Each structure stands twice: as structure tokens, then as C-alpha cells.
Amino acid sequence: MTITLLTPNQLGVLDHRIAARADALIAARTGRIQIKPKPKPSKEIPPNNRGRPPKSIANPFYLLIGPTTNYGRYPLFAMDIFEGIARLDWHDRGTSTGGKSMPLSVRNLVIILEYLEKVTSESVCQTLRIAERHAQRYVKAIELIIPHMMKAKPKSLILNMEEIHEPGNHDWEDVDELTQPSTDELAKLHHDLRTLGAIELPPHV
């Protein structure tokens, strides 16, 4: 049986490793260093950012109502709609129990339709400078108002709305049909064109 002995260099490396390990164990026992425990796996569930997207309502009356339009800021055909929906119970306070239901502002409702092409709680917050919770009430009110206004809009307003009267669409048709001229008509036309602009000279005396 052959026994292989370590070389002096290998013995030195081994001795150094054993000494370092022994020093670490002694230091740990005497409290000079602290061995940190392994961190336990976290059981926390990462936050989910897949929440419901904010509601966005397309405003078909954008730029069609306001003080610079034919219908003014308060269009007559829609005032009953504005006032009726503004007076709904938007605060869930029963009047029978002593609560007071505050209506929404009609002025704020018409300003939203005048200035905002897309109605969201964020855009309403910025336009009216109100809290988000209150802005959500106005967004819901606009969602109820628009269908009623679409039904009540006058014919003159229909012609001004982009989704109904798109550029390039016409309500007329060309009914005149071109007919091919006859041979006699072509000959006469040729003769007229040849003599067109001819200057008659006075007879010589």
C-alpha cells in the first residue's frame, strides 16, 4: 500500500485553513462576532397594480356648447336634464333620517361638457379644483346626462356633430347625365371654334 505524503506547502495551506476555522468558532462562542441567521423567505404578497382602470367618458358636446356657441353655456334643450340629475341623492343621506342631500352644481356640470373632451375623475379634479371623491360624483352625473342630451338635441346641433356629419359625406347626388353629341352638333361646334375670334376687315374703298 502506497502512502502519499503532503508537501510542506500543502501542509502550510491546510494548517492555515484549520487555524482560521478554529479562530472563527472561538470568536463566535465568546461573543466577539455574531453570526447572522439566514433570512427567512418573505410571505408578503407583492402589490397588484392591475386595478380597475379609471372611467373615461367621451364628450360628444365638446366645443359645441359654451358662451361662444349658438347654444350658449346653458343650452335650453338640456336644462331640465341638468337640473334633474343634479338634484339626485349624490351623498347617500336619507332626508327621512334628518340627513341633507346637497345637489351637484349645474354650473359645474355644463363647464365639464364645455371644456373636457374626455371626462375622467382626474380631469374633473383639475378643472373644478375639487377632491377626487366629489369629482367621481360629477363623472357619474355626466355619464347619466349625455344619453338624455343625445336624445333631446335639436336638428341644428345634429348637423354640427362630427360623428353624424363627417367631412366628405354629402347628402346629394349628381343626377345630370352626359349625353354624346351628334355628328351635326360636332360639325357646328368645330365651325364655331374655327371662326371664333375672327376679325372682320372693312371693305376696300
Separation in Å, CA 178 to CA 133, 175, 184, 186:
66, 10, 17, 15
The answer to whether residue 147 scores a pLDDT higher than 90 is yes
Residue 168: CB atoms within 10 Å: 4
Asked if the structure places residue 70 within a domain, the reply is: yes
pLDDT of residue 48: 54
Asked if the structure places residue 129 within a domain, the reply is: yes
Asked if the structure places residue 119 within a domain, the reply is: yes
The answer to whether residue 121 scores a pLDDT higher than 80 is yes
Residue 104 belongs to domain spanning: 57-93+100-158
Number of domains comprising the chain: 1
Asked if the structure places residue 36 within a domain, the reply is: no
Which segment of 17-26, 85-94, 105-114, 133-142 scores lowest on mean pLDDT? 17-26
Query: How many residues are given for the chain?
Result: 205
Asked if the structure places residue 62 within a domain, the reply is: yes
Q: Which tens digit of pLDDT belongs to each residue from 153-173?
A: 988 888 877 554 455 444 444
Q: Which tens digit of pLDDT belongs to each residue from 10-52?
A: 777 677 777 777 777 676 666 555 555 566 665 554 545 566 6
CA-nearest of 129, 124, 116, 161 to 140 is 124
Give the mean model confidence (pLDDT) for residues 187-195.
69
Asked if the structure places residue 115 within a domain, the reply is: yes
